[in-house]
Amino acid sequence: MDIPFNKIHAAGNEIEYISNAMKRGKTSSGGYYCKEVEKFVESKFGARKAFFTSSCSAALDASAVIIGLENEDEVIMPSFTFSSTANAVLARGAKPVFVDIEKVTFDMDVDDVKAKITAKTKAIYPVHYAGISCDMEAITSIASRHGLKVVEDAAQGVGSMYGGEYLGTMGNIGCLSFHETKNVTCGEGGCLLMNDSTLDEIAEIVLEKGTNRTKFLNGEIDKYTWVGLGSSYLGSEIAAAYLLAQLEEMDTINRKRRVATSNYYEFFRASKLVEEGHVVLPSVPWEMRSNYHAFVILLKDEKTRNETIVKMKEKGIAVASHFVPLHSSPMGRSLGYEEDDCPITEEVSKRLLRLPMHTGLSTADCQKVVARLEECLA
């Protein structure tokens, strides 16, 4: 590919930090770099307490255990998300209740959230699509009115803000991703942000694989034992060392993505694509609060979108679609959902096209992407 869809940013200090981690002789969770990553996230994002995990999926899984989801509980989340959000809930025996998205931000529709609340609802899992915040003021106020927990899936929103607050710090729990495809990466990694002190005690047990090892490490008991549910959710020291180097460059990474984003806007405005109705540009106030995770456009219909992916590939440019709506997936159908349960999700998912987005995109690259799209569409 002349212009790849994603390209891993090289911050510079990764190898040095990884090599230091190995020299220190501790490579499992809880070492120097894990603590440095957690401190960095706590101070940079203003998170009450952060735990470095092996992925965002692991953080989501842990969150579902920590908030005590069980059989018969219902959890409201958008259908327009990655499978991990729903798996975490389903693994506890709880039911994911899918809501539709709204047309501007592609985030969960707050009115649909209100409509889907029942006596069984236990939590809301807002997903900050493409790094654009959900309406957290509305969501947290609905949650407190109904006594629900809020767990933010901020996998795509690392470094994005809502008002003056970083995504992942507003719900009872927040989950971040440092997967290769996200802005800041260590291959596979995540963070569990614990913003609610009433969940600290249970979180310690869940993160220590169901034991009271934390009390033991703090000298409160003389040996530790199995006391509840838990698993191996925490990340390794090697991944944390890689990640610290990347986190230190986060502002530079997101600034470069912002430049690429505004370049795209400029070249689209100079083209006839928008005017002639071939392309709908994102109309969110990106400048306000995004980490520029993805540049997303809508094309006329599914056929055009699918053909465009193939044609662009032939021209050496990788573009992509996502997400496959969860409610109408084979798994969603087996849970009893039907295609027209979330009509906007269906439509957006069919028309959506993601353009290359990474720190290696030059102005000329952005110009080329738009010019090739013009050849395909106009």
* Residues at the contact surface with ligand PLP, assessed by CB under 6 A: 55-57, 81-82, 84-85, 127, 153, 155-156, 177, 179, 190
Report d(CA 186, CA 120) in Å as an integer: 38
Q: Report the nearest approach of ligand PLP to the CB of residue 254 (Å).
A: 16
- Burial (CB < 10 A; 0-12, 13-18, 19+), residue 275, is exposed
DSSP 343-375: HHHHHHHHHEEEEP-STT--HHHHHHHHHHHHH
Residues 6+ apart with CB under 8 A from 95: 72, 73, 74, 75, 89, 120, 335
Q: Report the nearest approach of ligand PLP to the CB of residue 362 (Å).
A: 26
Type of residue found at 198: T
Nearer to ligand PLP among residue 57 and residue 169 (C-beta): 57
Nearer to ligand PLP among residue 61 and residue 204 (C-beta): 61
Q: Report the nearest approach of ligand PLP to the CB of residue 66 (Å).
A: 17
Q: Report the nearest approach of ligand PLP to the CB of residue 89 (Å).
A: 12
Nearer to ligand PLP among residue 69 and residue 154 (C-beta): 154
Nearer to ligand PLP among residue 191 and residue 370 (C-beta): 191
Nearer to ligand PLP among residue 62 and residue 298 (C-beta): 62
Query: Which run of H or E residues covers position 331?
Result: helix 330-334
Type of residue found at 122: K
Taking a C-beta distance cutoff of 8 angstroms, is the pair 106, 353 a contact? no
Q: Report the nearest approach of ligand PLP to the CB of residue 57 (Å).
A: 3
Q: Report the nearest approach of ligand PLP to the CB of residue 82 (Å).
A: 4
Taking a C-beta distance cutoff of 8 angstroms, is the pair 37, 240 a contact? yes
Look up residue 228 and give its DSSP letter. Answer: S
Nearer to ligand PLP among residue 80 and residue 267 (C-beta): 80
Q: Report the nearest approach of ligand PLP to the CB of residue 58 (Å).
A: 7
Nearer to ligand PLP among residue 181 and residue 211 (C-beta): 181
**Residue showing tokens 């290696």:** 360
Torsion sign (Cα): 246, 37, 196, 232:
positive
